[in-house]
């Protein structure tokens, strides 16, 4: 009875894990759809931004660039917060404050800064989605392994044990029945 | 003057400059530069090598200029010192005040300074170590720069540094114009042309920048944004800022500005500066060809030397960052 109660519990757990697995697979597919082609597009945009930064350095010289950029008062401020899908935690990046750069910088630098700023949101989103996809994929793998272990190892083993116990009990019950019948027969003969 | 002729021949050629850009590594660049008149450039292993190179090239340029100053007549040497030392000192003051404005540590501000002796202020260290931005500006009292203190009010009003930088630009332009008067009349045109061109280009670049950021910003009087103007007048600058079609507004400026500003259509602002430097090179070369026996030769040597310094600084930085020779040479004045 205890075994049957336990296997019922395991089977319900397995069903839950299957639901989790399906949901994670759906989430992973959604994340991959977002990521598709995004990295290459972002790399191209970054290349353009990097070219603008390079041009500003060559044009103004490294000291002037550093002197100007270090003097920006309002800097980029980010907060990394945890988020969760089916118990899988992933980082969520919140932009607290965007730097205000255009006013004080030389035009070559403000141009470069604008190009970097225009890809910043995409970089953050890509980083967030990549971390999300990675963690979901990791959890999906773990859940899948658990479901497989339960379906192919634990549950069959439990079923085997239950069957063995049931067979044993049936056998014992049959033996008992035969024994009772033999005793009954012997008692009837003695009465006659 | 004969010496200047000889010295111009010693400057790096465009081919040499391209070879340096093609060095492939900082080590190869150091070796190649040591084979030129620059000789061995010693770079500390600590810190950013490109910054060390930049300082070294500034030192070499100042050495060249000092040598010229020593052998030129008094009127010319006074002008040259005022023109170059004042420019570098104004740049140093901008870097100091920028650092003070944003609260950078004194050691970091010092690291950004051009390695030169103070020209019209007594000590950079005093300014660098001033308690505050306001205090640093107040320390300029009693120096020729004291007029820039008037812009403090605007800095506070807009919580920005640009009014101070513009005040320094205005001071520099005014001071150079005054010093030009010390030159013999026939020698004034070249310097005046360079100064006008530089101010015009900077004003136009500022106008383009202002055009982009004007949305949502407080309207600032144009006289404050552009305190010095020459033949590109304030109303032309205003038209550029307010024009719906930037290309049309640029074309209306005419030669040489429409051509120099044309890289803006492809979004390559840095190329505008490279074109402006090439134009200055052309102005000086033309002036030298018109008068090959006088002040123009000296000025040509110094202008070419300074352009060479800027190119070498760019190449040194590019090599430390692994930038390709093609991407570097695009922005060099040596073509």
Read off the pLDDT band of B271 (50, 70, 90). very high
pLDDT mean across residues, chain B: 88
Residues 6+ apart with CB under 8 A from A35: A126, A129, A130, A133
Gap between the Cα atoms of B261 and B248, Å rounded: 12
Reply yes or no on whether the pLDDT at B319 is more than 90.
yes
| Per-residue model confidence (pLDDT) at position A176 | 92
Q: What percentage of chain A reaches a pLDDT higher than 90? A: 34
**A68 contacts in B (CB within 8 Å)?**
98
Reply yes or no on whether the pLDDT at A192 is more than 90.
no
Region B157-186 average pLDDT: 87
Read off the pLDDT band of B9 (50, 70, 90). confident
CATH code of B143's domain: 1.20.1690
| Per-residue model confidence (pLDDT) at position B88 | 94
**Domains of chain B: total:** 1
Q: Do B318 and A54 touch (CB under 8 A)?
A: yes
CB A142 within 8 A of CB A131: no
Reply yes or no on whether the pLDDT at B216 is more than 60.
no
> B-contacting residues of A 58-87, CB under 8 Å?
58-64, 66-68, 70-73
How far does the CA of residue A117 sit from the closest CA of chain B (Å)?
A: 14
Residue with tokens 């038209």: B239
Domain membership of residue B118 (yes or no) is yes
Domain membership of residue B31 (yes or no) is no
**Domains of chain A: total:** 1
Model confidence over B168-177: pLDDT tens digits? 998 998 898 8
Domain membership of residue A38 (yes or no) is yes
- Quote ipTM for the complex: 0.89
Domain membership of residue A170 (yes or no) is no
CATH code of A104's domain: 1.10.287.3240
Q: From the list A54, A67, A73, which residue is nearest B95 (CB)?
A: A67
Reply yes or no on whether the pLDDT at B96 is more than 90.
yes
Range of the domain at B80: 73-182
Of the candidates A41, A30, A43, the residue with the CA atom closest to the CA atom of residue A136: A30
Region B278-304 average pLDDT: 87
| Per-residue model confidence (pLDDT) at position B253 | 87
| Per-residue model confidence (pLDDT) at position A102 | 58
Domain membership of residue A161 (yes or no) is no
CA B277 to chain centre: 10
Q: Do B310 and A52 touch (CB under 8 A)?
A: no
**B108 contacts in A (CB within 8 Å)?**
70
Q: Do B317 and A58 touch (CB under 8 A)?
A: yes
How far does the CA of residue B183 sit from the closest CA of chain A (Å)?
A: 30
Model confidence over B37-59: pLDDT tens digits? 888 887 776 778 888 899 999 99
Residue with tokens 């299957």: A18
Domain membership of residue A175 (yes or no) is no
Gap between the Cα atoms of A167 and B44, Å rounded: 86
**B318 contacts in A (CB within 8 Å)?**
54, 57-58
Range of the domain at A47: 2-154
Domain membership of residue B93 (yes or no) is yes
CB B90 within 8 A of CB B168: yes
Least confident interval from A89-103, A108-122, B207-221: B207-221
Please state the pTM of the whole predicted model: 0.81
Reply yes or no on whether the pLDDT at B226 is more than 60.
yes
Model confidence over A149-191: pLDDT tens digits? 998 998 999 889 889 998 999 999 999 999 999 999 898 888 8
Reply yes or no on whether the pLDDT at B211 is more than 90.
no
**B contact set with A (CB within 8 A):** 48, 50-51, 54-55, 91, 94-95, 98-99, 101-102, 104, 108, 112, 114, 160-162, 205-206, 208-209, 212-213, 217, 267-271, 273-274, 310, 313-314, 317-318, 321, 323, 327-328, 331-332
> B-contacting residues of A 7-36, CB under 8 Å?
none
Domain membership of residue A185 (yes or no) is no
Read off the pLDDT band of B137 (50, 70, 90). very high
Domain membership of residue B199 (yes or no) is no
Region B89-94 average pLDDT: 95
């Amino acid at each position: 009875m205890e075994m049957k109660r336990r296997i019922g519990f395991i089977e319900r757990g397995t069903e839950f894990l299957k639901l989790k697995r399906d949901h994670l697979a759906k989430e992973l597919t959604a994340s991959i759809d977002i990521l598709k082609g995004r990295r290459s597009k972002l790399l191209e945009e970054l290349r353009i931004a990097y070219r603008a930064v390079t041009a500003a350095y060559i044009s103004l010289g490294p000291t002037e660039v550093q002197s100007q950029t270090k003097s920006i008062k309002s800097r980029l401020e980010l907060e990394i917060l945890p988020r969760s899908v089916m118990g899988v935690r992933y980082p969520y990046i919140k932009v607290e404050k965007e730097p205000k750069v255009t006013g004080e910088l030389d035009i070559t630098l403000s141009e470069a800064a604008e190009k970097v700023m225009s890809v910043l949101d995409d970089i953050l989103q890509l980083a967030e989605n990549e971390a999300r996809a990675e963690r979901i994929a990791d959890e999906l793998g773990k859940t899948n392994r658990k479901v497989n272990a339960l379906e192919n190892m634990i549950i069959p083993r439990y079923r085997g044990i239950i069957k063995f116990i049931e067979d044993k009990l049936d056998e014992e019950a049959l033996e008992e029945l035969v024994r009772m019948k033999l005793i009954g027969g012997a008692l009837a003969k003695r009465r006659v | 003057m004969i010496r200047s002729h000889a010295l111009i021949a010693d400057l790096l050629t465009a081919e040499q400059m391209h070879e340096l850009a093609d060095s492939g590594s900082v080590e190869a660049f150091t070796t190649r530069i040591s084979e030129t008149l620059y000789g061995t450039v010693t770079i500390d292993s600590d810190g950013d090598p490109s910054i060390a190179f930049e300082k070294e090239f500034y030192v070499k340029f100042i050495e060249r200029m000092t040598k010229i100053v020593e052998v030129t007549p008094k009127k010319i040497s006074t002008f040259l010192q005022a023109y170059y030392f004042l420019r570098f000192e104004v740049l140093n003051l901008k870097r100091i005040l920028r650092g003070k404005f944003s609260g950078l540590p004194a050691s970091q501000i010092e690291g950004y300074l051009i390695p030169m002796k103070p020209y019209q202020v007594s000590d950079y260290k005093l300014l660098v170590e001033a308690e505050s931005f306001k205090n640093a500006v107040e320390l300029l009292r009693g120096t020729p720069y004291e007029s820039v203190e008037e812009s403090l009010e605007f800095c506070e009003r807009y919580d920005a540094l640009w009014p101070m930088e513009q005040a320094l630009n205005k001071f520099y332009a005014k001071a150079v114009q005054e010093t030009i008067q010390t030159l013999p009349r026939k020698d004034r045109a070249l310097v005046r042309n360079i100064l006008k061109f530089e101010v015009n280009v900077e004003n136009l670049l500022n106008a383009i920048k202002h055009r982009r950021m004007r949305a949502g910003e407080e309207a600032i009087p144009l006289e404050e944004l552009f305190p010095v103007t020459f033949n590109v007048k304030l109303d032309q600058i205003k038209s550029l800022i307010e024009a719906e079609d930037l290309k049309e507004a640029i074309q209306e400026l005419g030669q040489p500005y429409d051509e120099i500003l044309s890289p803006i259509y492809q979004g390559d602002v840095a190329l505008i500066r490279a074109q402006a430097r090439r134009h200055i090179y052309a102005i000086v070369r033309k002036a030298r060809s018109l008068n090959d026996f006088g002040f123009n030769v000296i000025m040509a040597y110094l202008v070419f030397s300074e352009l060479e310094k800027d190119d070498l600084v760019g190449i040194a930085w590019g090599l430390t960052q692994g930038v390709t020779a093609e991407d570097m040479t695009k922005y060099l004045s040596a073509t």
